[in-house]
Structures are given as structure tokens and as C-alpha cells.
Chain A
Amino acid sequence: MRDLRPIFEPKSIAIIGASREPGKIGHVIVRNFIDGGFPGQLYPVNPNAKEINGLKCYKSVLDIPGKVDSAVVVVPAKIVPKVLEECGKKGIKGIVVISGGFAEVGDYELEKKLADISREYGLQVIGPNCLGVVNPSTKVDSIFLPTHKMGRPKMGGVAFLTQSGAVGSTILDLVAREGFGMSKFISYGNATVVDETDLLEYLGKDKKTKIIVLYLEGVKRGKEFFRVTRKLAKKKPIVVIKAGTTENGAAAAKSHTGSLAGSYAAYRAVFRQNRLVEAKELDDVFDFAKIFDTQPPCTGNRVAIITNGGGMGVLTADAVIKNGLELAEFSEKTKKRIRETMPPTVNARNPFDIVGDADAARFEEAIGLAYGDPNVDALIIITLFQTVSLDSRVVDVVVKAAEDGQKPVITIALGGEYTEMQRRALESSGVPSYDCPNAAARSLAKLVEYSRFVKGKA
């Protein structure tokens, strides 16, 4: 296994290609390290500058006194080999090459040079042609996008691993907005030296990482990827989205199987076989990640739906069944309690429609009954905030119920600005909120499927 700690936990970093000009990438990266409060030593490297952002600037890494753990490289592609040799001589082991202009533009020779030098000096290189890495716990942030243009998520348990920089930056921005906690963000570009399988192995061992989200275009070492994910997926959920699922290669096949088992079919086979959680859309990535991140494992599939709107309850019941889950049948005790405590307009049925005039107190009572029912494995709570009687107090009620952590509690709310505000409040307290019944049910179904796999029940 590669030792990637110098990249993610460095005590000192050289930024090679640091710049004085605010519009340059090499400037933004230095700025982000300073603004992010990186506690270690920061060494800007640029042969034409004496000082950048108040930090002494060095002509080459070889001029830096003392040990340097890691380097971020943003020089033009042609100079990258020379810079890497210097890093090798300096004893820098972990390097992120942001610069593009290698195999992705057809320069395979330059890419090979990078690989050769890395091998010669034993360098661990992420990139080239990547966005960089973020480790909130060590305040390493080599992403060249300014923080005011792209948000940075708070610390948490989700690691994001992405081949594409553009998808990566979008994901990161959305993750920050959705209030996710993140353990690592890694954009790995051309994967010339360190590839997705190396990074998965690293994240598997990383104590801060609870779940892994992977955006994949292709893998470098299929058999290794298979071997590593087979073990890792049992320990940590891996949510994967594969780009390039449409195929054009069927014409070359000579048999039925040849035309049916194309490249994406092979990836799907690997995902299913090793129990990676496949997201088909970008939305799914967040929907799945947040339930895995916040909710307890759940091997039962009997769902209680609590709603203050009948129609939404029925739509959600449909979504629950379509996704292979079941509607829970309340116990006699629960039914009796419902008849005793709820207004006569409320039926003791599932979906549990506590009707349009439900307030936070009625929600609390209903949630308590459903949560305590042994026939219920998970709860979907629909809060339609458009009604007169519902306000932010119901958020506290739901959050309190979910804190128990024995059964998954997720919510559905659709609406305008007011609803969005309440949804954010729920999510920042660790209760996933969905704006569509199908997304909620699909995510819960994925959690159940994965939990059963881990418990050896599927």
C-alpha cells in the first residue's frame, strides 16, 4: 500500500509555481492555505519572486532549509519533470500536480516522464491535471478555486474521490451548501502514479472517513480495483457514480454475450458483486451519501409514513413499495394508542395521516408511537410546511426523535423558501431531508440493502 500521509497530513508544504498575481492559480492556492489556517510551514517557490503574501519565496525547493513533506505543483507542464526531480532530491515524498498538459492532450511522452521520475525517487504523485486535495482535519487545501467562488465543506465523515475536476468542484460546492461533513476531497486527474484503487485503500484505512463517494470514468487496474473494493465495501459504504454508461462498441462483438456484456455492464457487475452503491444521477449521490452518513444501519424493510397531507402520504407509499420496501402494519397496541390520543379525523393506518391541522405536538406524539412500534423498522416523516399549524418547532421534534439512533428517520418536504430553510435546519442536525418521495424511498432502500449485506443477510 502506498504511503499517502505526506500528501494529506504534511507538516510543511512547498507550493511550486506560487505567484504574486492575484488572478493566477499559484496565488489562489497560497492564499487558500493562509486563509484556511494551515498550521504548518508554507514555502512558496518561484524563481522570480522574493516574497508572496508576506511569505519568503524560494527559487527552488532545493533552497528551502529544513525538511519539506509535501509539494503542490502548478508550473507549466514542460517544467513539471524538472520540478519533480528537484522534489525527489529534496526528499519530498507526497506531491499533488495540478498542472495539465499531459496524456489528456495527447502528450503521452511527458506523462511517461512524470511516471518514470516518480518511480525513480519513490514519489507519491496525485494528478497531473487535477483539482487538488482537501483535508479539513489538517487544513490542507490545494484547490485552486477561490473560497468565495466555491464553498468548502465542514469536517465530517464523507470522503469524495473524483476523477473529473469539473464534476469534483461542483460536488464540493454542493456538499458545502447541503451541509455535509467531509473527511477528504481528492481530485485525482490522470491517475498517472496514484490511482483510484490506491486512494480507496488509503480511505479504507483513514479513521476520519466513514463513507466514500466515488466519481469514476474508468479504472486503471481493473483486477486490483475489484480486489480492493470487495474487501472495503464491507467496512465502509462506497457510493459510486460511473460516467460513460452509454456504449458504442457493440458492433465489434461476434456473439450475443459479446454485444450484451459491454464495458458498462462490466462495471455494473463489479458494483453489484462487491456491493458498491451505484448512483445513476448526480442527485442520487447526495441523496444516498446523506442517509449513509447520518442514519443507523437497518436490515428491516417495514416503513412507517407519517404525514400531515394525505396525497403526499399515498405518493410516498407508492415510492416505498416501488423501491422494494414494505409499509409497516402497526401493532394493535399502537393502533389503540392512536385512537386514544389522536383526533377522530386521524385513522390508525399506515400511511399515518395526522391531517392538515397537525402541529408539532401531534407530530411528536405520532412519531413517538411509530418509532416505538416493534413492527416499524424505519420512519419517513412528511412535513408540509404550507399549513397554518406547522412551523420550525416540528424540526426540533424530528431531530429529537432521530437522536435516539436506533431506527432510520428521514423526512420529505417540498416547497418554497420557508420549506427550504426548514430542510436545511433538519439536515444540519443530521436528519436527511428529501424533496421527492422517490428519492427518499430509494435512498432508504439502498441503506437497507447495504445493511443487510454487511450483516450477511443478503
Chain B
Amino acid sequence: MPLDFSREGISKLLAKHGVRIAQESVARSPDEAAGIAEKIGYPVVLKVVSDEILHKTDCGCVKVNLVSEHDLRSAYTQIMHNAGSAKVKGMLVQKMVKKGIELIVGGKKDEQFGQLILFGLGGIFVEVLKDVSVRVCPITIDEAREMIGEINGSPLLKGARGTVPVDTEKLAHLLVNVSKMLDENQEICELDLNPIIAYEDGYLAVDVRVIRCVT
């Protein structure tokens, strides 16, 4: 069966491999938004879904840290107002993500060696620092641990200068699982799980981007 490259399809595939993605759903009414928020738990973020609004934050169409249904409903109204005459498809309700260390886990199909897995400091640092480690898929748990230890920024993960150490063992299992997923799904040409926020007790993948192989 060919791989479903829709957002839902990819989320399902990741979930099947034990990769947690920040929960999100699109609501079409304040009631629906409240229902979703209840399900994924407060605090949440509310973002407009519209093809006509490019910079959502700039026009006040993103509201963060909504801790209650009252906050949510009032944010919904405000965003609708701020959106003005733009055509609004709905509202994206996302789990509000706690601060942590931003990482990237990626995949790429190399023409010689096949699927590669990448690990490194994520978010805005990815392209600037290029502090990453790479392996050929699938990898063992030892190889995953080594990937984590290999980046220059690895002391940050162990709790440098007063920061809390993150759960590198969970990250190692994440790498093993993603490498297995890539190995089993050769139609994936490129994958970015970026950022992945790492915490003391786990991690959360906030965004995912997948590119299908050109056949």
C-alpha cells in the first residue's frame, strides 16, 4: 500500500513508530475548538487557518498560552476580528509546548547508501551551527547513543551550566524508531522533525515535514 503523505497520514505513521507529535486539530467553530482543547489539554495555542493570511503572528492571528475555555473563546473572537475580510478556513488548536532544548531529527535518502538519519541541535540553530551527526539506517541503540554524544552541543543535553539534563535515553529510542520507519518506507526522500523539544522526562515533536521521492 502506498504511503499516505497527507499530514494525518504522516502523523499516523509516526505514531505507529512511537513518535509523539504535538497534538493538534482544526476547529470550525468556537464550540469545536473548546472540544479539541478539552481533549488535548490546556494550555493551547490558537492559529488562524487561511490561505490569505501569510504572516499570522503579525496581524494578531495567533494566540498563545490559552489556559482555559474562557481564554480560548475570547481568543477565537479576537482572531476572527483581526482576520478582517480574509477568508478563514478554521482555527488550528495546538497543544502549547513547554520550553526545552530544540533538536532536529531528520531523514534523507542517499543515492549510494540509502536512508540516512540525522540528529542535531534544532530550531533556528540548524542551518547556522550545522551541529549534526548522521548514520545509515537502520541504527542500533548504541549507534543512536553515539549520535547524541557526537554533536558538539551534547553537553547542553546533559545539563550544562544549570540547565536541566534531558532524557537522552528516550531520544536514543526515538532515533532508533525513526531510522526503522525510514528503512521501511523507502518512498520518503527527506524528513524533518524540527523542532523536537527535549525535556527532562521526554520530548515532543512540534513540526514535521516530509518530502516524497520523485519516481
Contacts and interface: CB of A to CB of B under 8 A. Distances in A.
> Chain B: interface residue count, which band?
20 to 34
Interface in B132-177: 132-136, 139, 143, 146, 150
A222 B211 contact: no
Nearest to B137: A269
A261 B132 CA distance: 9
A155 B120 CA distance: 45
A276 B56 CA distance: 49
Contact of A257 (B107, B113, B114): B107
A260 B135 contact: no
A257 B136 contact: no
A253 B194 CA distance: 16
Most chain A C-beta atoms within 10 Å of own C-beta, residue among B134, B189, B194: B134
A321 interface: no
Contact of B108 (A218, A223, A261, A272): A261
A266 B113 contact: yes
B106 interface: yes
A270 interface: yes
Interface in B116-142: 116, 118, 120, 126-127, 130, 132-136, 139
B96 interface: no
A248 interface: no
B191 interface: yes
B136 A270 contact: yes
Contacts of B28: none
Interface of A: 218-219, 222-223, 225-226, 253-261, 263, 265-266, 268-270, 272-273
Contacts of B133: 272
Contacts of B139: 273
Nearest to A219: B112
A222 B106 contact: no
Contacts of B120: 260
B81 interface: no
Contacts of A259: 127
30 contacts: A218-B112, A222-B113, A253-B108, A255-B106, A255-B108, A255-B192, A255-B211, A256-B106, A256-B126, A256-B127, A257-B104, A257-B118, A257-B191, A258-B106, A258-B108, A258-B189, A258-B211, A259-B127, A260-B120, A260-B132, A261-B110, A261-B118, A261-B132, A261-B134, A263-B111, A265-B116, A265-B132, A266-B112, A269-B136, A273-B143
B110 A255 contact: no
**Which 6 A-B pairs have CB atoms at the shortest separation, nearest pair first?**
A257-B106, A222-B112, A269-B134, A266-B110, A255-B190, A261-B108
B132 A273 contact: no
Given A270-B113, A273-B143, 16 more contacts: A218-B112, A226-B113, A254-B211, A256-B106, A256-B127, A256-B192, A257-B104, A257-B118, A259-B127, A261-B108, A261-B116, A261-B118, A265-B118, A266-B112, A269-B135, A273-B135
A251 to B, nearest CB: 13
B211 A268 contact: no
B112 A257 contact: no
Contacts of A253: 108, 190
B175 to A, nearest CB: 13
A277 to B, nearest CB: 16
A232 to B, nearest CB: 16
Contact of B114 (A222, A258, A272, A273): A222
Given A269-B113, A269-B116, A257 B135 contact: no
Given A219-B112, A260-B130, A272 B190 contact: no
Contacts of A266: 110, 112-113, 116, 134, 136
B134 A256 contact: no
Given A226-B136, A270-B136, A273-B135, A256 B112 contact: no
A254 B111 CA distance: 16
Most chain A C-beta atoms within 10 Å of own C-beta, residue among B107, B108, B150: B108
B113 A261 contact: no
